[in-house]
Amino acid sequence: MRAVVQRVTEARVTVKGDVIGQIGPGLMILVCAMQGDGEPEADRLAERIAKLRIFKDEAGKMNLSLRDTQGSVLVVSQFTLAADLRGNRPGFSYAAPPAEGRRLYEHFAARMRAEGFATETGEFGADMAVNLVNDGPVTIWLDTATL
């Protein structure tokens, strides 16, 4: 699985003008299931993100995890993270098929909840508008193929 993790002061996702997920300080996570991914990859990704020390401590150093700060999570499906850019028009054949992608997306979000985080989500497959205030900015790219 692939993810782009952004430290935020706030984030929200809307579908057709309605806010369907919203958080204050925490992490906005764009996530994509790749061909061949399963629950072990989703679990490993969630565990890794939960432990990332990317929040500032009292000395201003990135030394605290989401758990330390008691932040929230907004998880948004993002199949374009699987883009194949061999040409000028991206292809997405590396992404998991939609039904499997949805299942793993929902599993990942449930896993973040199981880690103890207040977790909001977008809507899988929907045309979403995502708004966020990136804190830092801090943006981390993760791929379970390299974790």
Q: What is the DSSP string of 87-98?
A: SSS-B-TTBPPH
Preceding omega of 25 cis (within 30 degrees of 0):
no
Mean pLDDT of 70-92: 95
Give the domain CATH number at 91. Answer: 3.50.80.10
7 domain residue, yes or no: yes
Structural domain count, the chain:
1
Q: Which domain holds residue 119?
A: 2-141
Taking Cα atoms as reference points, which of 7, 25, 31 lies closest to residue 134? 7
Distance CA 40, CA 140 (A): 21
Mean pLDDT of 57-71: 97
Mean pLDDT of 15-23: 98
Give the pLDDT confidence of 91-142 residue by residue, as tens digits: 999 999 999 999 999 999 999 999 999 999 999 999 999 999 999 999 999 9
Confidence (pLDDT) at 116:
96
146 domain residue, yes or no: no
Mean pLDDT of 22-32: 98
Q: Higher model confidence: residue 87 or residue 60?
A: 60
Would you name the residues annotated as active-site residues? 78-80
The pLDDT > 90 percentage for the chain reads 98
